[in-house]
Amino acid sequence: MNTPQDSSLGREVAYPSQYDPGLLFPIPRRGAREEIGLDEAALPFVGHDRWQAYELSWLDGRGKPRVAVATVSVPCTSPNLIESKSFKLYLNSLNSTRFEDDAAARLCITRDLSACAGAVVTVVLGVPPLVEEAEGESLDEREVTIERYGPPAPEFLFADADEVVTETLSSALLKSNCPVTGQPDWASVSVRYRGPKIDRDGLLKYLISYREHAEFHEQCVERIFSEITQRCHPQWLEVEARYTRRGGLDINPWRASPGIAAPARTVRDLRQ
């Protein structure tokens, strides 16, 4: 079984000079899900991991460079997540590769990423539109005292069962760390739900308690979804985190209750 320690993370790696799909490194989702009590055969959510790749280039049939931005969507039901450094190295390996046209390049990337994830991945070329303000109510200016920065503290989460609401809460204060290198991962997160009204101060303290936590982006979002579900009992829930770019890639994991439609459009926020 592939583990993060087996990947290229934290190691000096030669810059690829030719196309090499073997650079892609899959990490099974099962282990991290078992840690938070999730059954692979009966996931309590739907969702995807949406990558946005800003440093993508290849050569056309005459050898002239082409540049593009790609949005890559990996279904959360795939057996593997795609390790980010290997993803960057793979994209760099395309720099000197000739394709007949843009469609051929997109088809190649789709094929290779799907093989790594173990499920059908979608790839769309084009720059996602910018969203200047987060949807819903921001929690970030609340006057709270913070004393817990890790591990995640679900005990901060509670809701008022006497008041049922439909709302979106957001924060730009989510930070976690790479479980291999210890490097910081920064994100904005939104929590959209219907159900007992979630306590604002408690939710903000809970999100900040990830600050020294070491876990991959996708796993953090699944943990947030699971612990809000267990503690606050929403009728339905949707959690999305938009992580800032590293090495030309950002990732935006989205998890939602079954039956909730995926976001209607692909966007990026000001920090991306």
Residue 190 annotated as lining a ligand binding site: no
Which residue is catalytic, options 116, 178, 220, 232? Answer: 178
Structure tokens at 161: 């069962």
Residues near 163 by beta carbon (within 8 Å), at least 6 away in sequence: 196, 197
Residue 217 annotated as lining a ligand binding site: yes
Please state, in angstroms and rounded to a whole number, the distance separating the CA atoms of residues 33 and 103. 36
Identify the CA nearest to 252 among candidates 261, 263, 110.
263
Identify the CA nearest to 77 among candidates 264, 225, 222.
222
Residue 142 annotated as lining a ligand binding site: no
Which residue is catalytic, options 185, 220, 232, 269? Answer: 185
Residue 218 annotated as lining a ligand binding site: yes
Helices (H), 7-74: 30-35
Tell me the backbone φ, ψ of residue 269, rounded to 5 degrees.
-100, 180
**185 carries an active-site annotation:** yes
Residue 96 annotated as lining a ligand binding site: no
Q: At what angle do helices 200-208 and 217-232 cross, to 10 degrees?
A: 150
Residue 85 annotated as lining a ligand binding site: yes
**201 carries an active-site annotation:** no
Peptide bond into 263 cis (omega under 30): no
Output the known binding site for NADPH: 84-85, 246-247
Output the known binding site: 82-85, 217-218, 246-247
Output the known binding site for substrate: 82-84, 217-218
Residues labelled catalytic: 178, 185
